[in-house]
Amino acid sequence: MTTVNKINFLPSPEGLRGNSQRRAGTSALTVLAPAVWGSTYLITTEFLPPDRPLLASTVRALPAGLALLLWTRVLPRGIWWWRAIVLGVLNIGAFFYFLFLAAYHLPGGVAALVMAVQPMIVLLLGAVLLKARIQPLHIGSCLLAAVGVALLVLQPHAGLDTIGVVAGLLGALSMASGIVLTKRWGRPEGVSLLTFTGWQLTVGGLVLLPVTLLGETLPDHLTWGNVGGFAYLSIIGALIAYVLWFRGLSLLPALAASFLSFASPLCATVLGYLFLDQSLRPLQFLGAAAVVGAVVLAQPRKKAPAPPQAEPAVR
């Protein structure tokens, strides 16, 4: 009589290490996007015309979006017309508007502190729309990140403004909703990452354009420094950064990607120290460490393989 044993195929240790390295590589590449966005304050104050936040947002989004559309020559079809509009408004247009509105009404880094609720919103929306389980580690990471951002950016005697706080919360809600819906809907089959990014940047820029024309006056003249600043925002801060960001969203869990956005206030603080002669206090170093720790805790981890189960012999 012959005995046949069923073989269980389990991932090898090398395969698990490879998957873990790929996830770490994806996170490291994706975090470059919010790190670049953290340089926006430095570029705005040093290179752009003063008091033109909406103009900066529009120039940042619209030319990059139109360039990608001209390059790819693909427009949305069917249901993706309204989905592209929704994602473009949430991820680009509304988010930029509320972000700058909060920055103008809230002193110091209070706006960044208000925006720190974004991962908590992603956590709740993900549970509803993505059926993601809320784990104690996720809640702890959210709280640790909020404390870290507070220590990092909150200045003494910083006042609160109702309009600024509401704008900051709406900005956090806008970005969190965009992250979750981008994860839920994905990309349409056969549509490249460049095309998908171009749709959203174009929609966001078109939404911002009339607000900019109504709310701000155009500068009388532009210097070469202004041109260079606008080019940086459009090419590096939008086209390249958002391609990396949407790529990361397609590969990482929504909450893990959301936590990477904390690189933005962290980078802004470091650049302010290096180039704008801003001082750093010991509590800010502690806050930076807390932010980094929260981001690391929120990233996906490899799961240990289930132990092989003995199969009854078949005779």
Residues in contact with 250: Cβ distance below 8 Å, sequence separation at least 6, in sequence order: 183, 186, 187, 193
Given a cut of 80, is residue 13 above it in pLDDT?
A: no
Which range of 12-21, 115-124, 305-314 scores highest in mean pLDDT? It is: 115-124
- pLDDT of 34 > 80? The answer is yes
CA–CA separation, 191 and 217 (whole Å)? 38
- Whether the predicted pLDDT of 130 surpasses 60: yes
Record the pTM.
Answer: 0.82
pLDDT tens sequence across 41-86? 788 888 988 888 889 899 999 999 999 999 999 999 999 999 999 9
How much is the pLDDT for 32? Answer: 94
